[in-house]
Amino acid sequence: MNKSERVIERDEVVIRFSGDSGDGMQLTGTLFSNTSALFGNDLSTFPDYPAEIRAPQGTVGGVSGFQVHVGHSEVYTPGDYADVLVAMNPAAVKANAKFIREGGTIIIDEDNFTEKNIIKAGYQKDPVAEDKLNRFNIISAPITTLVREALKDKGLDPKTVLRTKNMFALGMVYWLFNRDFEYTEEYLKSKFSKQPAIIEANSTVLKAGYHYAETMEAMTPIYKVSPARIERGRYRTIDGNTATAWGLLAAAEKAGLDLFIGSYPITPATGILEALAARKDLGVKSFQAEDEIAGICTAIGASFAGNLAVTSTSGPGLALKSEAIGLAVMTELPLVIINVQRGGPSTGLPTKTEQADLMQALYGRNGECPVVVIAASTPSNCFKYAFEAAAIALEHMVPVILLTDGFLANGSEPWKIPSMDALPEIKPPVVKDGDDEFIPYERDEKKLSRKWAVPGTKGREHRIGGLEKTVKGTVSYIPENHEHMVRMRAEKVARVVSKVPDIKTYDDDEGELLLIGWGGTYGHLLTAVRELRKEGKSVSLAHFNHINPLPANTAEVFSGFKKLVVAELNAGQFVRHLRMEFEDFRFKQINKIQGLPFTCTEIKEQCIKLLEE
């Protein structure tokens, strides 16, 4: 039987790489993903990091995973269950057995399945029997032994030799899915350009894994996922944090302003600070602050000085920034606050995803203190919503909170690189020198935004600070003026609705059940609804990116359905917001608080249950 006769065509496959933090599973998954993207597949990834920096080796707490879903058609999620699991030790099997599809394949390094490692992973004696793994195709390979054999004459130390094990596993997967080495070998040459021995070792082991799989009967048949039919253009794979950073860079260029970011490193938001700090060539000024409060206060100062000012954080950091956000509201300065949500409260689950900061974003400040709240919904559209957040902040002179989450920040997908000419211009209301009277809080009739007078502009001096003021910027304790200014600031945020597009449903505008979501749950909800509709169910989806203000037609959309259900990764925060805004509607809930994304199966089961009630 030749190779072509052993190939089975598949529309999509899900592969999960898993092992100890030091096993290189994130890199292995990334290389497979990028190779698949260059081949032309659509894809979605889900890196799953351990929360502990140095968890004990061989324990479930130290398992690092990377799941990728590649497809011949559009892919919106990393997949519910893996067709193939690469497990470098017993702990990886223990952590991931529940995520393998019935009849799937498990590739293990049998050299690591020692009695000691089996016990450390929480098994008694036999992982296959204890986790009932006989229903899977288990490919047991002596990966460690074979790697040592492949590199025995290369003159490398034992530790360096073992670091190449992930390349052996990757070679086996490349055989299984009919992939070539070109991208991986180019990556190795670039990464280790000054270490030719490391390049040769990894390349040798990669090919050894491929040829080992080629000779194993258990590794047949192999699978082929043809390229997807996607719109022509220039693409790259991008994660949410990088997309967010680039959206801000594009906004700064379109506004003709310098970009300043003042932030304190915090998982999983640090990548935004790192990506922007690397772009001094584009005029970015980055400041790694000593704490969250300093980060946002420097950003407010940069905004006062005429910059597009940004601060980034995650859950507990947003809490620390709350007082300064109030200052930005009172001074009516443009500011973008990015909150990459994670499991909480407190340190919580720092490497896991959640949507539990919505109430904090909407209401987590003292006094009447509304801000614009936007949520991205895919890794790639973090670019779009970061750009939009900056545009609204600059043109309406308001703070804007952009919500992403750990799933979006670390996940990646193909992204069609936009032309800068296609992006809209951003026109901040900056005032120039002049001799006419300057009234600091005199407002634009449509937007209610005030003028932006940068320090040093002749004739535009004004008082600014956290105390309540009159329209002329003088401090005021007059009760009626305070109420007037509070209502004016709230109305200014409300008028941003003019920039908010109407909410659209997938697919029908009326029916039995409307599934409602927001933010990073988009891909899973959309996929679930598509599958339900194929099964003849009357289900549609309304997914929100604009939280405050909500789209103007929200109530009209809700009125077209008999049942409304809100799905979110928290105990019910968006649904509470909707209940306050729309008292005439009744909302059911689907909630998950496990530090994990929804699965499409979970959503479908809950929707079917609601339809049958």
Q: What is the pLDDT of residues 339-396, one digit of tens each?
A: 999 999 999 999 999 999 999 999 999 999 999 999 999 999 999 999 999 999 999 9
Domains 236-417 and 505-612 share a fold: yes
* Sequence-separated (6 or more) residues with CB below 8 Å from residue 391: 251, 254, 255, 424, 426, 499
Q: Which of 114-123, 213-222, 291-300, 414-423 has the lowest mean pLDDT?
A: 213-222
Give the pLDDT confidence of 480-507 residue by residue, as tens digits.
Answer: 999 999 999 999 999 999 999 999 999 9
Quote the CA–CA distance of 385 and 546 in Å, as a whole number. 10
- The answer on pLDDT for 8 being more than 60 is yes
Which candidate, 351, 398, 391, 346, places its Cα nearest to that of 372? 398
DSSP for residue 446 = T
CB 517 within 8 A of CB 573: no
pLDDT at 470: 94
Fold of 505-612: Rossmann fold (3.40.50)
Domain 3-224 = CATH 3.90.550.10: no
Q: Is 4 exposed, middle or buried (0-12, 13-18, 19+ CB in 10 A)?
A: exposed
| Sign of the CA dihedral running 506, 498, 336, 547 | negative
CA atoms within 13 A on the CB side of 119: 3
CB 517 within 8 A of CB 543: yes
Give the pLDDT confidence of 299-312 residue by residue, as tens digits.
Answer: 999 999 999 999 99
Q: Which of 228-237, 266-275, 331-340, 425-434 has the lowest mean pLDDT?
A: 228-237
3-state secondary structure 318-337: HHHHHHHHHHHHHHCCCEEE
CA 284 from centroid of its chain's CA atoms: 23
pLDDT at 1: 45
Quote the CA–CA distance of 112 and 120 in Å, as a whole number. 12
Rounded to the nearest integer, the mean pLDDT of the chain is: 95
CB 268 within 8 A of CB 314: yes
Angle between helices 165-176 and 196-215 (to 10 degrees): 40
Helix (H, G, I), strand (E, B) or coil at 182: helix
CB 16 within 8 A of CB 82: yes
pLDDT class of 4 with cuts at 50, 70, 90: low
pLDDT class of 220 with cuts at 50, 70, 90: low
- The answer on pLDDT for 25 being more than 50 is yes
Q: Is 497 exposed, middle or buried (0-12, 13-18, 19+ CB in 10 A)?
A: middle
Percent of the chain with pLDDT over 70: 99
- The answer on pLDDT for 323 being more than 90 is yes
CB 264 within 8 A of CB 61: no
User: Domain-by-domain residue ranges, the chain?
Assistant: 3-224, 236-417, 505-612
pLDDT class of 2 with cuts at 50, 70, 90: low
Give the pLDDT confidence of 563-611 residue by residue, as tens digits.
Answer: 999 999 999 999 999 999 999 999 999 999 999 999 999 999 999 999 9
Which candidate, 309, 308, 307, 320, places its Cα nearest to that of 266? 320
Quote the CA–CA distance of 256 and 276 in Å, as a whole number. 17
CA 451 from centroid of its chain's CA atoms: 34
As a CATH number, domain 236-417 is 3.40.50.970
List the structure tokens of 420: 């800068």
Helix H or strand E segment including 516: strand 511-518
Give the pLDDT confidence of 147-186 residue by residue, as tens digits.
Answer: 999 999 999 999 999 999 999 999 999 999 989 999 999 9
| Phi/psi of residue 88, nearest 5 degrees | -85, -10
